[in-house]
Every structure is written in structure tokens, then in C-alpha cells.
Chain A
């Protein structure tokens, strides 16, 4: 019976050999005559409960690469062609590191990803070891850029940036006295909700309840009933549109008069679709100036819809801009070598779809204006642009 063990090993090797063939076949169709192909990795969940957002990021990056290729990027006298290498990290930290290693092996110049902080953080070590810059379009955990790596950047406000701005908005403009807070028990939602809560509490606002749900739930009747009993004048939700949509519907059904306020995870077309009439009056913020005041904002949304046949979910603009940040850094560095690009990314000063992009010394997005939107007549409308008061950098 010694035989099977050996066979087993060979079977594994044979399997690898097969896989290798597949990989080589994929790599063949790369370079033509005088074009230089530059690979940009994209890592996000393409399967599982969050795959709609992962696909959104991937599509954003694909569109970014397409636009750059169409504009004819030339670096060091050579025409550059961006190629997106998209991998599925399944929102799973274990898979994230495997995928990261795969992208490093494939010699990508930079990585757009990952979606979840829980995937971005373990993967960042692998990119840092390989010296490859990583721009996360969506990971908001402050720890991500605080690990001491030079390669970690993000093009999204972290929780410590967006939460306080929203908090000040609630106190100053909405004159909230009694606030109920709900979070979705994820790194993003809870981080945002806690930062918000700390700010409004410091301003003397009464927190009447802090309830929790999950990012998979659709029934919020119990926690909303609890909140109803405490009579808040504002309900803050840390989480994304797939929860806040049904939530605002259920708030209406229960007869809760308080307004719903959320962060950038809620300021999406899908929120209005899911909430229906109940969306009216809901408010959510998004970093940057209002889309229609931004060069290319509206055009981006239309182009995206035309190409992929679906609306932007959430983070496609961030994925799109991240690719442009790479291109921009390459132009200034005059090279496609990650070692040369890295210091240039840190110096980025670029106007993207999401607004002005510049990084602080850690790689976080420098706090810019945050625009709070409100749903009016079934559409998001800019309500007010709040500038950070300088207490955070």
C-alpha cells in the first residue's frame, strides 16, 4: 500500500503541471510589437455575499485601464498598455494572501485592492515585502495604513475621517439632540458608527441607543422597535445600502419619524431602489465635492452604465481613480518600475472622479471636503459640503 502515497504526490504534481499550462496560456496574449504591457492587479471578492461590490471595483478598474489605453499613455518613449489582472479574494483573509502572492508572482506593477479591511491588511504584508504599491478603494480600517509599510494607500476616507465630519454635521446642521446609532458589525460599519458616536457624544448629544445588526440581515424590526421606544430625532447607520435600503422601508412601516443618516456606503442609486418611497429625506455623505460639480463625475456614471449595463454600486469610482493614480505616478516617474513609482504615488496630487486625491505621510487620503446628500424626488441631491475643521490633519 506504499503505492497510493506516491501516486498521491504525483497526482498533486500533475495537477500543478496542468494548472501551469493554463497560466501560460493566459499569459501569451500580452505584448504586441512596440507596446509595453503593464499589469495592474485588482483583488476583490467576486464570489460570495459581497461579490456585487467586488465586481463593481473590478469594473471600475477595467474602465480606468480602458480610458488610459485609449488616451495613449507614453512613458520613456514607449506606448504603455494597461492590463487588468483581476483576482477573487472571496472576502476571505486566507484567500486574500494567496491571491496577493499570485499577483506578486505575476509581476504586477501595482494593486487595486482589497475590498475588506480584513483582506487588505494581511495582503498588505505580501505587497510590502515585494515592494509593490497597493491602493485600496474601500478598506476603511485605520490600522491598514498604520502598520509601518510604505506601500499601503487608500482612496477612501478612513473611519476616523468620515465619522467625525458626519458627527459635526448632525450636531451643527441637523441640531440633533437624541441620536440612535446602528451598525452592521463589520469593520467598516462599526468603525464609522463608533467614530460618529464619539463625536456627537463629545458635543453633548444624548445617545439613546446603539443597536447592531449584521451585513447579511434584512429584518430590522426588533432593533427599530427598540429605537422607536426611545424617541430619537436622528438615526445614524454605519453600513451599506443593502441594509439601509430595507431598513428605511421598515422604519417607515413602524412609523419612526426620525431621519436616517449614513456614510458613503449608503449614498448609492441602489439605496433608493431598495428603499422605494421610504428613501425620501434620507441623508448620506460621500467624500469629495458633489458629483455633478466634478469634472467627469456624471460622464463617468454614464460611461460605466453604457459599458457594463449595470449602475455603479459603490466603489467603482475609487477603483477607476486608483488606476489613474498609478498612471499619473508612472508619468511623473518616467518609469513603470514599482520601485520608482512608489515615491511618486506618495506625492500624488490628482483630480479624480471622487475629487482631489492626495495622500498624507501614512498613505491615507488627505481629508478633503465631504458632501452630504439628501434624497429628494427619488434622487440624491447635494445638500451641503462640509470641510474638515482641521482637528484631523
Chain B
């Protein structure tokens, strides 16, 4: 029973990590209908930029959480700039191009960001200093670290914040109008280019936050860390219904749970024929099943033919 509880905690924490990244994906997709494949790389840039700042401060005697906050604050403007440039250079000129053209530029941007990172930070796996207390809390026999709790809280706060932004503010209304129909929105006086820019910058700042938190949790950062993370987050976003903020959260947590419980119990379920090596198979299998019955994801609205 303790083991099951621990696996659920593991799954929820992993899911929150995915959700944090997936929110950035979904934000952009919701407005533009564009998968920003380079989002994982923004996360990576955030993690590595923050690491540079953190390493400068780590001997200064400041308390860990303060250093962490400064790290995030240092990474945010860099990612914001990256997001802005990315949109201006690689996506905006292609807004009316065939649907797959931005996919190629996204891959190009990913490669560029990765190898700029190599030139700046090198190829090594960098250790992230321990900034938060590591002593785990006991939760009915399951353990959870303060970092993991912080991730859960941040993912939830971010989601709630974004929901409020999109549904309760003037900017949010402009975003929704742009998502609905950019042409009409422009006729109504919405500066759609500006809205798209803001969306991208917002998504990238979220990426910075996600990057730092992921790296603090696993105490590791590397120029290729964005790829797998981005992929999983993208899967989570689709599972929940891409473009839907709540969906990103639900999809993330669900994917995390599937992975944790899958690798925890698949061996017992199949009599040892399959093991934890089939974790991702299990995750994708559930994804396919969900999409067969709900082709637009769990919380996704039935979209008009976006394809």
C-alpha cells in the first residue's frame, strides 16, 4: 500500500513537471494553432542561464531559495528575448505558408538553440547545486521532497494564473479573439501581431520557470535536456487536448501517473514478459486509446478541421 501511494506521488510529481512544460506549448497552440517544437529548447536555455547566475551566487552566503529566485529572474528575460526573436524571425513570416513550413523552421530553431548552448555552456552535464532543503516529508509512508512540493504548487499556480489571464483580462479577451479568428479580431481593433508576440514571450517565460524547476529537481542540466522533455510535454498536452490550459495540467498528471504506475506494475501484470523497459510503450498505448475514443484529447473541444 505504501508502495502504491509512493508510486502515485511519483506520478503526480512527474506529471507536474510535464504540465509545467506543457502549459507553454498549449499557450502558443491555443492562440496560433502552431506546435512550437522549439519550446523544449527554450526550457533548456532557461535552465542553463539560471545555472550561470546561480553558480555566481552560490558562495555568496545568500539563502538557497533567494538564489533560486534570482536564477529564475535572470533566466526569464533571456527566454523572453529568445521567444520574441523566434516568433519574429522563424514563425511570423510563415503565418500564411503551408502548415508544415513552421514545423521545419521550428526544428531549425531547435538545432540553432542547442548548438548555441554548446558554444556557450559546453557539452557537459552540469550539476545543479542544492538550493532547497532536501529532507523529504513523510506522507502516510510515501516520501516527497520540498522541491517536488514546490513544483506541484508552481504548476497549479501557473495554470490558475493563465486561466485568469485568458478569461478575466482585456489581454486575455484579445488572445481569445485572435485564437477564434485573427482576421475578425484585427477588424475589431486587436493588434494580433502584438498579441501573438506577447503569447510567445509569456510561453517562453513559463519555459524558463519550468527549466529551472526541472533542473533543481533532478539536479542536472544539459544542452540536450529540452528534447525529451519537450516531447513528453507535447504528448501530455495532446492527451489533455492541445490548446486547453486545464487539459495540459490533466494530461501532464495523467501521463506522469501512467508512466509511474506503468513501470511500477507492468511487470507484475504481464507475468514478467514486459518490464519497465516498456514504460513508454505503455504511455503511448494509453494515448492512442484515448485518442481513438476522444480524437481531440480529454478536454479538447471538437475543433473544426485545423489540419
- The answer to whether A218 touches B14 (Cβ under 8 A) is no
Residue B92, interface by CB 8 Å: no
How long is the Cα–Cα vector from A276 to B263 in the complex, in angstroms? 26
Contact A212 B118 (CB under 8 A): no
- B14 contacts A313, CB within 8 Å? no
List the 10 shortest-distance A-B pairs measured between CB atoms, nearest first: A212-B277, A221-B10, A52-B123, A218-B218, A273-B127, A222-B260, A229-B3, A222-B263, A49-B224, A51-B123
Within the complex, which residue of A185, A241, A245, A277 is in contact with B277, where a contact is CB–CB below 8 Å? Answer: A185
Task: Determine if A228 and B134 form an interchain contact, defined as CB atoms under 8 angstroms apart.
Answer: no
Given contacts A48-B224, A223-B276, A253-B145, contact A228 B3 (CB under 8 A): yes
Give the docked Cα–Cα distance between A35 and B259 (Å).
60
User: Beyond A216-B224, A222-B276: 8 further Cβ-contacts under 8 Å?
Assistant: A47-B115, A212-B275, A221-B10, A222-B7, A223-B264, A225-B3, A274-B220, A310-B122
Determine the distance from Cα of A49 to Cα of B223 in the docked complex, in whole angstroms.
8
CB distance from B255 to the nearest CB of A (A): 12
- Rounded to whole angstroms, the CA-CA distance of A310 and B126 in the bound complex is 12
A276-B10 contact given A219-B218, A226-B263, A242-B125, CB 8 Å threshold = no
**Minimal Cβ-Cβ distance residue in B for A209:** B267
Interface check A362, CB cutoff 8 A: no
Q: What DSSP secondary structure best describes chain B's contact surface?
A: helix
Output the least CB separation between A86 and chain B (Å). Answer: 14
Question: Which residues between 84 and 122 of chain B lie within 8 Å of chain A, taking CB atoms?
Answer: 115, 118, 122
Q: How far is the CA of A246 from the CA of B259 in the complex (A)?
A: 18
Q: Chain A interface (Cβ within 8 Å of chain B)?
A: 47-49, 51-52, 55, 185, 210-213, 216-219, 221-223, 225-226, 228-229, 241-242, 245-246, 249, 252-255, 270, 273-274, 276-277, 310, 313
Chain B residues lying within 8 Å of A211, measured Cβ to Cβ, are: 263, 275-276
Determine the chain B residues whose CB is within 8 A of the CB of A212 once the complex forms: 275-277
Closest chain B residue to A216, Cβ basis: B228
Is A245 touching B127 in the complex (CB atoms < 8 A)? yes
CB-CB under 8 A for A218 and B220, given A225-B10, A229-B3: yes
* Bound: A203/B89 CA distance, A: 63
Give B115's nearest chain A residue, CB to CB: A47
Contact B263 A245, beta carbon cutoff 8 Å: no
Q: Mark B137-180, 1 if CB is under 8 A from A, else 0.
A: 00000010100000000000000000000000000000000000
Bound-complex Cα distance A352 to B13 (A): 47
**Residue B136, interface by CB 8 Å:** yes
A382 CA / B303 CA spacing, docked (Å): 63
